[in-house]
Structure 1
Amino acid sequence: MATLLHIDSSVFSTGASSSRAVTDAFRRIWQEQHPEGTVIHRDLAAQPVPHIDAHSHTAGFSDPATHTPEQAAAFAERVKLIEELESADAVLIGAPMYNLTIPSTLKAYLDNVVLMGRTAGDAQSIKGTPVTVVASRGGAYGPGTPREGYEYVQNYLSAILADFLGADLDFIVPELTMAPANPAMAELVPLFEASRERALDEATTKAKQLAQKLAA
Protein backbone atom coordinates (compact mmCIF):
# COMPACT_ATOMS: atom_id res chain seq x y z
CA MET A 1 0.00 0.00 0.00
CA ALA A 2 1.02 3.59 -0.58
CA THR A 3 3.05 5.65 1.87
CA LEU A 4 2.43 9.35 2.46
CA LEU A 5 5.21 11.44 4.01
CA HIS A 6 3.48 14.35 5.77
CA ILE A 7 5.76 17.22 6.80
CA ASP A 8 4.55 20.19 8.86
CA SER A 9 6.64 23.25 9.69
CA SER A 10 4.22 25.76 11.22
CA VAL A 11 5.13 26.85 14.74
CA PHE A 12 1.42 26.87 15.63
CA SER A 13 -0.89 24.01 16.54
CA THR A 14 -3.55 22.81 14.12
CA GLY A 15 -6.24 25.02 15.62
CA ALA A 16 -4.14 28.15 15.11
CA SER A 17 -2.28 27.18 11.92
CA SER A 18 -3.73 27.70 8.46
CA SER A 19 -1.22 25.36 6.83
CA ARG A 20 -1.82 22.57 9.36
CA ALA A 21 -5.59 22.86 8.93
CA VAL A 22 -5.19 22.17 5.22
CA THR A 23 -2.52 19.46 5.52
CA ASP A 24 -4.70 17.73 8.12
CA ALA A 25 -7.67 17.82 5.72
CA PHE A 26 -5.51 16.34 2.96
CA ARG A 27 -4.13 13.66 5.24
CA ARG A 28 -7.59 12.74 6.56
CA ILE A 29 -8.95 12.19 3.05
CA TRP A 30 -5.82 10.28 2.10
CA GLN A 31 -6.29 7.92 5.03
CA GLU A 32 -9.96 7.41 4.16
CA GLN A 33 -8.89 6.41 0.65
CA HIS A 34 -5.93 4.33 1.91
CA PRO A 35 -7.02 2.72 5.20
CA GLU A 36 -4.32 0.09 4.77
CA GLY A 37 -1.66 2.62 3.80
CA THR A 38 1.09 4.24 5.84
CA VAL A 39 1.42 7.87 6.91
CA ILE A 40 4.74 9.13 8.23
CA HIS A 41 4.25 12.46 9.99
CA ARG A 42 7.33 14.62 10.51
CA ASP A 43 6.60 17.72 12.60
CA LEU A 44 9.60 20.00 12.13
CA ALA A 45 8.39 22.47 14.75
CA ALA A 46 8.15 19.81 17.46
CA GLN A 47 11.21 17.84 16.33
CA PRO A 48 13.49 19.97 14.15
CA VAL A 49 16.22 18.25 12.19
CA PRO A 50 19.84 19.38 12.60
CA HIS A 51 20.98 22.28 10.47
CA ILE A 52 23.71 21.46 8.01
CA ASP A 53 27.15 21.95 9.53
CA ALA A 54 30.64 21.62 8.08
CA HIS A 55 30.76 17.85 8.72
CA SER A 56 27.39 17.01 7.15
CA HIS A 57 27.97 19.39 4.24
CA THR A 58 31.44 18.21 3.24
CA ALA A 59 30.44 14.56 3.72
CA GLY A 60 27.91 14.97 0.92
CA PHE A 61 30.66 15.74 -1.55
CA SER A 62 33.19 13.08 -0.60
CA ASP A 63 33.60 9.32 -0.73
CA PRO A 64 32.05 7.73 2.41
CA ALA A 65 35.22 5.64 2.74
CA THR A 66 37.13 8.85 3.46
CA HIS A 67 34.71 10.27 6.04
CA THR A 68 36.00 11.24 9.44
CA PRO A 69 33.99 9.89 12.40
CA GLU A 70 32.30 13.28 12.67
CA GLN A 71 31.42 13.30 8.98
CA ALA A 72 30.15 9.73 9.12
CA ALA A 73 27.85 10.45 12.07
CA ALA A 74 26.45 13.63 10.53
CA PHE A 75 26.01 12.05 7.11
CA ALA A 76 24.18 9.06 8.60
CA GLU A 77 21.49 11.42 9.88
CA ARG A 78 21.10 12.92 6.42
CA VAL A 79 20.80 9.45 4.89
CA LYS A 80 17.97 8.54 7.28
CA LEU A 81 15.98 11.55 6.10
CA ILE A 82 16.77 10.84 2.46
CA GLU A 83 15.73 7.19 2.73
CA GLU A 84 12.47 8.21 4.41
CA LEU A 85 11.79 10.63 1.54
CA GLU A 86 12.71 8.05 -1.10
CA SER A 87 10.36 5.49 0.45
CA ALA A 88 7.34 7.77 0.12
CA ASP A 89 4.86 7.33 -2.72
CA ALA A 90 3.62 10.89 -2.13
CA VAL A 91 4.74 13.85 -0.04
CA LEU A 92 2.65 16.53 1.69
CA ILE A 93 4.37 19.66 3.01
CA GLY A 94 2.97 22.49 5.11
CA ALA A 95 5.02 25.59 4.28
CA PRO A 96 3.71 28.81 5.84
CA MET A 97 5.34 32.07 4.81
CA TYR A 98 7.45 33.59 7.59
CA ASN A 99 9.13 36.89 6.74
CA LEU A 100 8.59 36.29 3.02
CA THR A 101 10.06 32.78 2.91
CA ILE A 102 9.77 29.28 4.40
CA PRO A 103 10.38 28.45 8.08
CA SER A 104 14.02 27.83 8.93
CA THR A 105 13.13 24.33 10.10
CA LEU A 106 11.87 23.43 6.63
CA LYS A 107 14.98 24.97 5.06
CA ALA A 108 17.10 22.80 7.36
CA TYR A 109 15.17 19.71 6.30
CA LEU A 110 15.61 20.49 2.60
CA ASP A 111 19.32 21.19 3.09
CA ASN A 112 19.63 17.69 4.52
CA VAL A 113 17.74 15.84 1.78
CA VAL A 114 19.14 17.69 -1.24
CA LEU A 115 22.17 15.58 -2.08
CA MET A 116 23.89 15.95 -5.43
CA GLY A 117 24.36 12.59 -7.11
CA ARG A 118 21.46 11.01 -5.26
CA THR A 119 18.32 13.12 -4.83
CA ALA A 120 19.57 15.99 -6.99
CA GLY A 121 21.62 16.31 -10.14
CA ASP A 122 21.59 13.56 -12.74
CA ALA A 123 20.21 10.90 -10.36
CA GLN A 124 17.07 12.51 -8.84
CA SER A 125 16.02 9.48 -6.80
CA ILE A 126 12.53 10.93 -6.08
CA LYS A 127 11.94 12.07 -9.66
CA GLY A 128 8.23 12.00 -10.49
CA THR A 129 7.10 11.61 -6.87
CA PRO A 130 3.97 13.73 -6.33
CA VAL A 131 4.62 16.51 -3.80
CA THR A 132 1.77 18.74 -2.59
CA VAL A 133 2.78 21.92 -0.78
CA VAL A 134 0.35 23.95 1.32
CA ALA A 135 1.89 27.41 1.05
CA SER A 136 -0.14 29.55 3.43
CA ARG A 137 0.58 33.25 3.79
CA GLY A 138 -0.73 36.17 5.80
CA GLY A 139 -1.15 38.50 2.84
CA ALA A 140 -1.58 38.22 -0.93
CA TYR A 141 1.51 37.63 -3.05
CA GLY A 142 0.05 36.16 -6.23
CA PRO A 143 0.51 37.43 -9.80
CA GLY A 144 -0.75 40.98 -10.20
CA THR A 145 -0.69 41.85 -6.50
CA PRO A 146 1.49 44.70 -5.17
CA ARG A 147 3.67 42.21 -3.29
CA GLU A 148 4.14 39.72 -6.12
CA GLY A 149 7.87 40.47 -6.19
CA TYR A 150 8.21 39.41 -2.54
CA GLU A 151 6.97 35.85 -3.09
CA TYR A 152 9.90 33.63 -2.10
CA VAL A 153 8.02 30.52 -0.97
CA GLN A 154 6.61 29.06 -4.17
CA ASN A 155 9.54 30.34 -6.22
CA TYR A 156 12.09 28.74 -3.91
CA LEU A 157 10.23 25.47 -3.40
CA SER A 158 9.62 25.15 -7.15
CA ALA A 159 13.35 25.48 -7.75
CA ILE A 160 14.27 22.94 -5.06
CA LEU A 161 11.48 20.37 -5.32
CA ALA A 162 10.70 20.46 -9.03
CA ASP A 163 13.95 21.59 -10.66
CA PHE A 164 16.55 20.10 -8.31
CA LEU A 165 14.70 16.97 -7.15
CA GLY A 166 12.43 16.38 -10.15
CA ALA A 167 9.27 16.01 -8.07
CA ASP A 168 5.79 16.32 -9.58
CA LEU A 169 4.96 19.50 -7.66
CA ASP A 170 1.57 21.02 -6.85
CA PHE A 171 0.61 23.94 -4.60
CA ILE A 172 -2.40 24.78 -2.45
CA VAL A 173 -2.27 28.44 -1.37
CA PRO A 174 -4.45 29.75 1.49
CA GLU A 175 -3.98 33.54 1.49
CA LEU A 176 -4.73 36.53 3.73
CA THR A 177 -4.54 34.36 6.84
CA MET A 178 -3.70 37.38 9.02
CA ALA A 179 -6.96 39.14 8.12
CA PRO A 180 -9.00 37.86 11.12
CA ALA A 181 -6.31 38.99 13.57
CA ASN A 182 -5.26 42.29 11.99
CA PRO A 183 -7.78 45.17 12.28
CA ALA A 184 -6.15 46.88 9.31
CA MET A 185 -7.14 43.88 7.17
CA ALA A 186 -10.72 43.62 8.44
CA GLU A 187 -12.23 44.32 5.03
CA LEU A 188 -10.27 41.39 3.63
CA VAL A 189 -11.81 38.80 5.96
CA PRO A 190 -14.36 37.63 3.35
CA LEU A 191 -11.53 37.08 0.87
CA PHE A 192 -9.59 35.16 3.52
CA GLU A 193 -12.61 32.97 4.25
CA ALA A 194 -13.08 32.26 0.54
CA SER A 195 -9.40 31.42 0.18
CA ARG A 196 -9.54 29.10 3.19
CA GLU A 197 -12.57 27.23 1.87
CA ARG A 198 -11.01 26.96 -1.56
CA ALA A 199 -7.82 25.55 -0.05
CA LEU A 200 -9.75 22.96 1.99
CA ASP A 201 -11.73 21.97 -1.10
CA GLU A 202 -8.52 21.65 -3.12
CA ALA A 203 -6.96 19.51 -0.39
CA THR A 204 -9.95 17.16 -0.47
CA THR A 205 -9.98 16.93 -4.25
CA LYS A 206 -6.23 16.53 -4.68
CA ALA A 207 -5.97 13.93 -1.92
CA LYS A 208 -8.73 11.84 -3.50
CA GLN A 209 -7.27 12.13 -6.99
CA LEU A 210 -3.78 11.24 -5.84
CA ALA A 211 -4.94 8.32 -3.70
CA GLN A 212 -6.96 6.92 -6.59
CA LYS A 213 -4.06 7.37 -8.99
CA LEU A 214 -1.64 5.49 -6.76
CA ALA A 215 -4.18 2.76 -6.08
CA ALA A 216 -4.71 2.12 -9.80
Structure 2
Amino acid sequence: MTVLRVDATIQGDRSASAALADLVTAELTAARPGETVVHRHLGADPLPADAWATAVGAGFVPEADRSPAQVEALALAGRVADELRTADAAVLALPLYNWGVSQHVKTWIDLVVAGGTPGEPVLAGKPVVLITTRGGSYAPGTPKEGWDHGIGYLRRIVGDVWQADLTVIERELTLVGVNPALDAFAEPAALMKKEAEEAAAAAGRALASR
Protein backbone atom coordinates (compact mmCIF):
# COMPACT_ATOMS: atom_id res chain seq x y z
CA MET A 1 0.00 0.00 0.00
CA THR A 2 1.18 3.50 -0.86
CA VAL A 3 -0.23 6.21 1.39
CA LEU A 4 -0.13 9.87 0.42
CA ARG A 5 0.08 12.21 3.40
CA VAL A 6 -0.62 15.88 2.79
CA ASP A 7 -0.05 18.52 5.47
CA ALA A 8 -0.95 22.19 5.23
CA THR A 9 -0.05 23.56 8.64
CA ILE A 10 2.03 26.69 9.07
CA GLN A 11 2.57 25.91 12.77
CA GLY A 12 5.59 23.62 12.50
CA ASP A 13 6.11 21.39 15.54
CA ARG A 14 3.18 23.06 17.32
CA SER A 15 0.65 21.84 14.77
CA ALA A 16 -2.45 20.10 16.09
CA SER A 17 -3.38 18.75 12.66
CA ALA A 18 0.08 17.29 12.07
CA ALA A 19 0.02 15.63 15.50
CA LEU A 20 -3.21 13.83 14.60
CA ALA A 21 -1.82 12.81 11.20
CA ASP A 22 1.25 11.47 13.01
CA LEU A 23 -1.02 9.22 15.09
CA VAL A 24 -2.74 7.88 11.97
CA THR A 25 0.49 7.06 10.18
CA ALA A 26 2.12 5.68 13.33
CA GLU A 27 -0.68 3.16 13.84
CA LEU A 28 -0.58 2.22 10.17
CA THR A 29 3.17 1.69 9.98
CA ALA A 30 3.28 -0.12 13.32
CA ALA A 31 0.86 -2.69 11.96
CA ARG A 32 2.31 -2.72 8.44
CA PRO A 33 5.94 -1.54 8.63
CA GLY A 34 6.60 -2.14 4.96
CA GLU A 35 4.11 0.43 3.73
CA THR A 36 5.25 3.43 1.71
CA VAL A 37 4.20 6.88 2.94
CA VAL A 38 4.65 9.68 0.42
CA HIS A 39 4.61 13.11 2.07
CA ARG A 40 3.67 16.46 0.54
CA HIS A 41 3.82 19.45 2.91
CA LEU A 42 1.91 22.33 1.42
CA GLY A 43 2.73 24.66 4.30
CA ALA A 44 6.48 24.09 4.41
CA ASP A 45 6.90 23.68 0.66
CA PRO A 46 4.01 25.56 -0.96
CA LEU A 47 3.04 25.15 -4.56
CA PRO A 48 3.42 28.26 -6.75
CA ALA A 49 0.34 30.44 -6.34
CA ASP A 50 0.21 31.25 -10.07
CA ALA A 51 0.66 27.69 -11.33
CA TRP A 52 -3.04 26.91 -11.56
CA ALA A 53 -3.91 29.94 -13.70
CA THR A 54 -0.91 29.25 -15.92
CA ALA A 55 -1.89 25.60 -16.35
CA VAL A 56 -5.49 26.49 -17.17
CA GLY A 57 -4.37 29.12 -19.67
CA ALA A 58 -2.10 26.60 -21.34
CA GLY A 59 -5.12 24.47 -22.15
CA PHE A 60 -6.22 27.12 -24.66
CA VAL A 61 -2.84 27.26 -26.40
CA PRO A 62 -1.64 24.72 -29.00
CA GLU A 63 0.99 22.47 -27.48
CA ALA A 64 3.71 23.67 -29.83
CA ASP A 65 3.04 27.31 -28.90
CA ARG A 66 3.08 26.96 -25.12
CA SER A 67 5.59 28.97 -23.13
CA PRO A 68 8.10 27.26 -20.83
CA ALA A 69 6.05 28.48 -17.85
CA GLN A 70 2.91 26.89 -19.28
CA VAL A 71 4.68 23.61 -19.94
CA GLU A 72 6.06 23.60 -16.41
CA ALA A 73 2.68 24.42 -14.84
CA LEU A 74 0.94 21.64 -16.76
CA ALA A 75 3.63 19.17 -15.71
CA LEU A 76 3.23 20.20 -12.07
CA ALA A 77 -0.54 19.81 -12.26
CA GLY A 78 -0.06 16.36 -13.73
CA ARG A 79 2.31 15.36 -10.93
CA VAL A 80 0.07 16.42 -8.08
CA ALA A 81 -2.91 14.72 -9.69
CA ASP A 82 -0.86 11.55 -10.22
CA GLU A 83 0.09 11.49 -6.54
CA LEU A 84 -3.57 10.97 -5.72
CA ARG A 85 -4.27 8.60 -8.61
CA THR A 86 -1.38 6.30 -7.71
CA ALA A 87 -1.93 6.33 -3.94
CA ASP A 88 -3.85 3.48 -2.38
CA ALA A 89 -4.92 5.65 0.55
CA ALA A 90 -4.43 9.20 1.80
CA VAL A 91 -4.12 11.12 5.05
CA LEU A 92 -4.98 14.79 4.58
CA ALA A 93 -4.22 17.14 7.49
CA LEU A 94 -5.82 20.42 6.44
CA PRO A 95 -6.48 22.91 9.26
CA LEU A 96 -8.92 25.79 9.16
CA TYR A 97 -7.35 29.20 8.60
CA ASN A 98 -9.30 32.46 8.46
CA TRP A 99 -12.58 30.52 8.33
CA GLY A 100 -11.68 28.43 5.30
CA VAL A 101 -8.97 26.37 3.63
CA SER A 102 -5.58 28.04 3.29
CA GLN A 103 -4.22 29.37 0.02
CA HIS A 104 -1.82 26.41 -0.01
CA VAL A 105 -4.68 23.91 0.06
CA LYS A 106 -6.75 25.78 -2.52
CA THR A 107 -3.78 25.93 -4.91
CA TRP A 108 -3.18 22.20 -4.44
CA ILE A 109 -6.82 21.33 -5.09
CA ASP A 110 -6.98 23.55 -8.16
CA LEU A 111 -3.83 21.98 -9.57
CA VAL A 112 -5.18 18.47 -9.00
CA VAL A 113 -8.29 19.45 -10.92
CA ALA A 114 -6.21 21.03 -13.70
CA GLY A 115 -4.04 17.91 -13.90
CA GLY A 116 -6.98 15.62 -14.64
CA THR A 117 -10.16 15.55 -16.66
CA PRO A 118 -13.18 17.63 -15.54
CA GLY A 119 -14.75 16.03 -12.47
CA GLU A 120 -12.24 13.16 -12.43
CA PRO A 121 -12.69 10.98 -9.31
CA VAL A 122 -8.96 10.70 -8.58
CA LEU A 123 -9.60 8.95 -5.25
CA ALA A 124 -12.54 6.78 -6.27
CA GLY A 125 -13.22 4.22 -3.54
CA LYS A 126 -9.88 4.78 -1.79
CA PRO A 127 -9.75 5.19 2.00
CA VAL A 128 -8.95 8.76 2.97
CA VAL A 129 -8.58 10.20 6.46
CA LEU A 130 -9.36 13.92 6.40
CA ILE A 131 -8.16 15.78 9.50
CA THR A 132 -9.19 19.34 10.20
CA THR A 133 -8.48 21.45 13.26
CA ARG A 134 -9.89 24.78 14.42
CA GLY A 135 -8.50 27.21 16.95
CA GLY A 136 -11.90 28.19 18.32
CA SER A 137 -15.29 26.55 18.33
CA TYR A 138 -17.89 26.70 15.59
CA ALA A 139 -20.40 24.35 17.22
CA PRO A 140 -24.16 25.03 17.24
CA GLY A 141 -24.98 27.84 19.64
CA THR A 142 -21.51 29.38 19.63
CA PRO A 143 -20.96 32.97 18.46
CA LYS A 144 -19.19 31.75 15.31
CA GLU A 145 -21.59 28.98 14.36
CA GLY A 146 -21.60 28.77 10.57
CA TRP A 147 -18.26 30.52 10.16
CA ASP A 148 -16.37 27.34 9.28
CA HIS A 149 -16.26 27.44 5.49
CA GLY A 150 -13.55 24.77 5.27
CA ILE A 151 -14.99 21.39 6.18
CA GLY A 152 -18.04 21.61 3.91
CA TYR A 153 -15.83 22.52 0.96
CA LEU A 154 -13.36 19.74 1.72
CA ARG A 155 -16.16 17.17 1.98
CA ARG A 156 -17.46 18.26 -1.42
CA ILE A 157 -14.05 18.04 -3.09
CA VAL A 158 -12.57 14.95 -1.43
CA GLY A 159 -15.77 13.00 -0.88
CA ASP A 160 -18.07 14.06 -3.71
CA VAL A 161 -15.78 15.13 -6.57
CA TRP A 162 -12.81 12.86 -5.89
CA GLN A 163 -15.15 10.12 -4.52
CA ALA A 164 -12.95 8.99 -1.64
CA ASP A 165 -14.11 6.57 1.03
CA LEU A 166 -13.92 9.33 3.60
CA THR A 167 -13.24 9.34 7.34
CA VAL A 168 -13.31 12.81 8.91
CA ILE A 169 -11.56 13.71 12.17
CA GLU A 170 -12.23 17.16 13.62
CA ARG A 171 -10.73 18.91 16.63
CA GLU A 172 -11.75 22.31 17.91
CA LEU A 173 -10.41 24.74 20.55
CA THR A 174 -6.78 24.08 19.68
CA LEU A 175 -5.88 27.62 20.79
CA VAL A 176 -6.84 26.91 24.39
CA GLY A 177 -3.63 27.49 26.34
CA VAL A 178 -2.39 29.87 23.65
CA ASN A 179 -5.14 32.51 23.56
CA PRO A 180 -6.04 33.68 27.10
CA ALA A 181 -9.56 34.52 25.93
CA LEU A 182 -10.20 30.78 25.65
CA ASP A 183 -8.91 29.79 29.10
CA ALA A 184 -12.43 29.05 30.33
CA PHE A 185 -12.73 26.23 27.80
CA ALA A 186 -9.80 24.16 29.03
CA GLU A 187 -11.95 21.20 30.08
CA PRO A 188 -13.93 20.76 26.83
CA ALA A 189 -10.76 21.39 24.84
CA ALA A 190 -8.97 18.57 26.65
CA LEU A 191 -11.89 16.24 25.97
CA MET A 192 -11.93 17.19 22.28
CA LYS A 193 -8.19 16.55 22.05
CA LYS A 194 -8.56 13.12 23.64
CA GLU A 195 -11.47 12.15 21.38
CA ALA A 196 -9.63 13.33 18.26
CA GLU A 197 -6.50 11.39 19.24
CA GLU A 198 -8.53 8.24 19.80
CA ALA A 199 -10.26 8.71 16.45
CA ALA A 200 -6.91 9.22 14.70
CA ALA A 201 -5.43 6.07 16.21
CA ALA A 202 -8.54 4.10 15.23
CA ALA A 203 -8.35 5.49 11.69
CA GLY A 204 -4.73 4.37 11.41
CA ARG A 205 -5.64 0.84 12.52
CA ALA A 206 -8.52 0.81 10.05
CA LEU A 207 -6.17 1.78 7.22
CA ALA A 208 -3.82 -1.02 8.24
CA SER A 209 -6.63 -3.54 8.01
CA ARG A 210 -7.56 -2.64 4.42
Q: Percent identity?
A: 32
Q: Does residue 184 of structure 1 match 2:174?
A: no
Amino acid at match of 2:47: V
1:19–1:95: 8 Å Cα contact kept in structure 2? yes
Query: Hey, what does 1:5 align to over in structure 2?
Result: 4
* Structure 2: segments with no counterpart, 5+ residues: none
1:64–1:72: 8 Å Cα contact kept in structure 2? no
Q: How many residues align?
A: 208
Q: Does residue 56 of structure 1 match 2:52?
A: no
Query: Hey, what does 2:79 align to over in structure 1?
Result: 80
1:3–1:88: 8 Å Cα contact kept in structure 2? yes
Deviations, residues 119-157 of structure 1 (Å, cap 9, x unaligned): x52x42321222211110011113454422111111110
Deviations, residues 85-144 of structure 1 (Å, cap 9, x unaligned): 1111111111111110122111111111013853x52x4232122221111001111345
Query: Hey, what does 1:128 align to over in structure 2?
Result: 125
Query: Hey, what does 2:16 align to over in structure 1?
Result: 18
Normalization by structure 1: what TM-score? 0.88
Aligned-partner Cα distance in 1 for 2:122–2:8: 23
**Distance change (3 Å), C-alpha of 1:96 and 1:125:** closer
1:210 equivalent among 182, 195, 207: 207
User: Tell me, what secondary structure is at the counterpart of 1:55?
Assistant: helix
**Distance change (3 Å), C-alpha of 1:77 and 1:185:** same
**Distance change (3 Å), C-alpha of 1:46 and 1:100:** same
Query: Hey, what does 1:200 align to over in structure 2?
Result: 197
Normalization by structure 2: what TM-score? 0.91
Question: What is the Cα-based RMSD across aligned positions, in Å?
Answer: 1.9
User: How far 1:36 sits from its partner (Å)?
Assistant: 0.9
1:178–1:185: 8 Å Cα contact kept in structure 2? yes
1:49–1:109: 8 Å Cα contact kept in structure 2? yes
Give runs of ≥4 in structure 1 deviating > 6 Å. Answer: none
* Structure 1: segments with no counterpart, 5+ residues: none
Aligned-partner Cα distance in 2 for 1:64–1:94: 37
